[in-house]
Chain A
Amino acid sequence: MGILDRFLRAAHFSGGVHPDDHKRPAADATLRVMPPPARVYVPLVQHIGSPARAVVTVGDLVKKGQRIGEPMGAVSAAIHAPTSGRVIAIGDIVAPHPSGLPVRGVTIESDGRDEWCELETCDDPFALDPAEIGRRVAQAGVVGLGGAAFPSAVKLSGGLGARVELLIINASECEPFLSCDDRLMRDRAAEAVDGIAIMLHATGAREARIGIEDNKPEAIAAMRAAVAGQPRIRVEVIPTRYPMGSEKHLILVLTGREVPAEGRPSDIGVVVHNVGTAVAVRNAVRFGRPLVSRLVTVNGACVREPGNVEVPIGTLAGEVLAFCGGLRADHGGPSRLLLGGPMTGMQVSTLEVPVIKGTGGILVLDAAEVGEGDGGPCIRCGDCMRACPVGLLPLEIAARVRAGEVDKAASFGLADCIACGCCAYVCPSRIPLVQYFHHAKGELAARARGTQRNETIRSLTRAKAERIERDEREKAEALARRAAATVAAAAAVKQAAASVEKAAETENEESGVCA
C-alpha cells in the first residue's frame, strides 16, 4: 500500500524538460553577507499589485527598517529602508525590467552605521491571532520570494477566501543556475522550519509539506534534521524536472490533485509559499524585521567568484557582481545579462539596476551558455507540444500570434500558458516562442484596458451631457421664477400705487370737504 501510494503520488506531470542545472559550484560556496553600499535605489513597486506611496521626503533621515512606502489598495506591499541614511532623491530610477523603463523609487545615501529602527518583537508567535500574524507580515512588506512577488499577507491571512487544508512549501528551485533556496535551507534550516510552523498557525492548515528536488541532498538532510519533532511538517523529495517549481505542477506532484484551469490553489484547499518567504515571515513576526534584504545567486561562466550573497534591497546588481569579484578576465565577454533564472528570468541590457524583493539571481552568461545560433522556420516536429507541461500546442499558438490573430491564440489556451520556456528550450528552429506568448498576453491585456477606458469615457460623456442639460433646465426655471416674481412685484407696486392714489383722492375729497 505504502509503496503503491508513493508510486501513484510520484506519478508526475507530463511534459517538462531536464536542462543542465549549472547549480554547482555556486551552490557549494559559503553564503556571504554584503555590507550596505554607499547608495541604495529602492523602487516603490517591487510586487504584484499597485505601487506603494512614498511617505518620506528628500532630506529625511531614515533608520534601517523604517517604512518609506505605504501600501495602496488591497493588493500592495509596504517598502522599507534597507539601511540607515538620508533620502537624497524620490523620482524615476531604471527598473530591473527588460523594457528599461523608469519606475518611481527612493534613493538613500547610507550613513555607514546600518542602524535598525525600533522593532515590534514577539516571543511567542503561536499565541498570536492568525489575523495579527497577517497584519505583522503585511507591516513588514513581505512578498513571495520565489519570483512572482505576490504580497504574502494576502495569501496568509485567508485573503483569498477559501479554507486552507494544506500548506505547501516550494523549495524545489527547478530553475537552472539558481541556488539561493538551496543555500538558505542548508544554512538556515531551523529558521525556515520555525517560519513554516508560524505559517501553519496563521493559515490554519492541518499539515505542511516541503517539496525539495532530489538534486539537493544537502538541503534535504538539513531540512529533515530541522523538522524532527514537528509532526505536522514533512519533507518530500520530488524528482528533478523543470518546471517542478510551478505552483500548479508542484501541487499535482505532491497531492495528485490538479488546480483547475484559470483557477487558484485555494480552490482545492492548498496554499503555496516559497521557503525563502517562510524565513521572511519568521523574521517579521518574531523580530518585527521588515523584508530589507534577500539571498541572491550570482552565477554564470563570466563571474569570477560565483555564489550566494545576502544583499540589501536596492543595491545595484553591478555592485553585487563586483562584490563577487567582478567579471573573469580570462573569459570572453558577457553575452547575456539576466535577473532571475535563464528560463523565466528577465534579460536586461545593464546591471545598473537595483536588486528588488523578487530578484533571485544575477546571471552573467557567456556565449557558450547562451548557445545562440541561427534560427529557422517551424518544421512542425512537435517537440514543443511534447515539452509543454500544461498540454498546450505552442506551435499552433505561435502561428496564430505571428499572423496577428491573438483572439484565436487565446482560444488555443494561451491563458493557461505559464511562460516556463520549455517549448523554446527544445525548439530545434530556435523560435522565440515565449516572446510570442508574452506579446499576445500583453496585447490581450491592452485591449481589455482599452475597452475599460472606452467605457469610462462613454459614461463621462453622458455625465457631462446630462449635467449641461440639467444646468440649462435649472437656469430656465430660475429665469421663469424671476420673471414671475417681477410680474408679481410689478402688480403689487401697481396695486400699492393705486391704493395710494385712492387714498390721496379720498384725502383730497376730505380736504375739499374741509375746505
Chain B
Amino acid sequence: MLAAILSLTILGAVLGAVLGIANRFFHVEGNPLVEEIEALMPGSNCGQCGFPGCAGAAAAIAAGDASPACCPPGGRSLAVTIAQRLGVSVELGGADDPGPLVADIDESICIGCTRCIRACPTDAILGGPKQIHNVLRDACSGCAQCIDQCPTEAMVMQPVPVTLQQWFWPKPALQG
C-alpha cells in the first residue's frame, strides 16, 4: 500500500516537473494577430458568423478563411478596421445594406418574463419580472441571442432608425 502511494506520488511529481519545464522552454507564441483581432470584436460570442465565438472568428479571419466583414454586430466599421489592420480590401455589400440590426420589443405582447434580459450579453434590455421590457438601442450589439428566448415572439431585429444628425447624402448616381 505504502509502496504504491509513494511510487505514484513520485511519478506524478517528476512528470509534473517535466511538463512545467517543457511549458517554459518549448513555449509556442500564439499568433498575436488573432489576439489583436479578437480584441476588436464585440466579444458577445453570438455565433452569427458561423465560428465558435469571437476567438474562433478572429482565428479564421487571421488565417484568411473568413472575410473581415463576417461579423454582423460589428458592422461596416469593424469590417473596415480589421481590413485596414490586415491590409486587405473588403467587400461591403453595397448600397442596399440595411446597416446593423438591433433588437426591438413589441410592448403589447411582452409578458415580462425576463428571459431576454438574462440572455443579453451587454445588459441592453431594461425591465423586471412582470414589467414591460425595453431595449437600449445604443447598448444593443445586435447579437440576436434574445430573439429565441422570447416565449411570445415579442422580440424582433430591426434596422436602427436614421436620425437627422446621422443622415448624410447618398453617393451620386454615376453619370453619362
Decide yes or no whether B139 CB sits under 8 A from chain A.
Answer: yes
> Which of B84, B139, B170 makes the CB contact (< 8 A) with A456?
B139
Complex-state Cα separation, A463 to B74, whole angstroms: 18
| CB neighbors of B among A117-144 (8 A) | none
User: Contact check: which of A98, A448, A457 meets B44 at CB < 8 Å?
Assistant: A457
Report how far A462 CA is from B81 CA in the complex, Å: 20
Contact between A99 and B167 (Cβ–Cβ < 8 Å)? yes
A375 to B175, Cβ gap below 8 A?
Answer: yes
Is there an interface contact between B77 and A453, defined as CB atoms closer than 8 Å? yes
- Contact of B44 with A431 in the complex, beta carbons under 8 Å: no
| A439: contacting residue among B84, B139, B171, B176, CB under 8 A | B171
Chain-A contact segment, one of B25-33, B120-128, B151-159: B120-128
- Count residues of B near A (Cβ-Cβ below 8 Å): 37
A448 to B80, CA, bound (A): 11
Known: A377-B175, A450-B77. A103 touches B166 (CB 8 A): no
Which chain A residue lies CB-closest to B44?
Answer: A461
SS class, residues of chain B in contact with chain A: loop
Q: Which residues of chain A are within 8 angstroms of B100 by Cβ–Cβ distance? A: 450
Tell me the chain B residues, 29-85 only, with Cβ under 8 Å from chain A: 40-44, 73-78, 80-81, 84
Docked complex Cα distance between A457 and B74 (Å): 9
Q: Is the CB of B76 within 8 A of A454?
A: no
Residues of A within 8 A of B2 (CB): none
Contact assessment for B76 and A438 in the assembled complex, using a CB-CB cutoff below 8 Å: no
Contact (Cβ within 8 A) B77 A447: yes
**A412 CB–B CB distance under 8 Å:** no
User: Considering the complex, which residues of chain A in the window 384-410 have a beta carbon less than 8 Å from any beta carbon of chain B?
Assistant: 401-402, 404, 407
Query: B22 to chain A: which residues have CB within 8 Å?
Result: none
Binary per-residue interface labels of chain B (138-176) against chain A in the complex, 1 for a CB within 8 Å, 0 otherwise: 110100000000000000000000111011111110111
- Residues of chain A in range 446-498 having any CB-CB distance to chain B below 8 Å: 446-451, 453-454, 456-458, 460-465
Q: Are A375 and B176 in contact (CB under 8 A)?
A: yes
Q: Is the CB of A451 within 8 A of B81?
A: yes
Is A210 in the interface zone, CB < 8 Å from B? no
On whether A99 and B164 interact (CB within 8 A), knowing A377-B176, A401-B171, the answer reads yes
Would A464 and B121 be within 8 Å (CB), given that A101-B163, A375-B176, A451-B81 are in contact?
A: yes
Q: Are A436 and B121 in contact (CB under 8 A)?
A: no
Task: Give the distance in Å from the alpha carbon of A447 to the alpha carbon of B141 in the complex.
Answer: 16
Beyond A376-B175, A435-B172, A450-B77, is A457–B167 a contact (Cβ under 8 Å)? no
- Chain B residue with minimal CB distance to A460? B122
Residue contact B172 to A458, C-beta cutoff 8 Å: no
CA distance A429 to B174 in the complex (A): 12
A431-B77 Cα distance, complex, nearest whole Å: 28
A441 interface residue (CB < 8 Å to B)? yes
Decide if A295 is an interface residue (CB 8 Å cutoff).
Answer: no
Cβ–Cβ contact B172 & A457, under 8 A: no
Binding site for A on B (CB under 8 A): 40-44, 73-78, 80-81, 84, 92, 100, 120-124, 138-139, 141, 162-164, 166-172, 174-176
Q: A435-B169, A439-B168, A453-B138 are in contact. List 12 more A-B contacts (CB 8 A).
A: A98-B169, A432-B172, A439-B172, A442-B167, A447-B80, A458-B41, A460-B122, A460-B124, A461-B44, A463-B123, A464-B120, A464-B122
Pairs A–B under 8 Å by Cβ, sample size 15: A99-B162, A402-B171, A438-B168, A439-B171, A446-B76, A447-B80, A449-B166, A450-B78, A454-B77, A456-B139, A457-B42, A458-B43, A460-B141, A463-B123, A464-B121
Lowest 8 A-B CB distances belong to which pairs? A442-B168, A450-B77, A460-B122, A438-B169, A457-B141, A461-B43, A99-B167, A375-B175
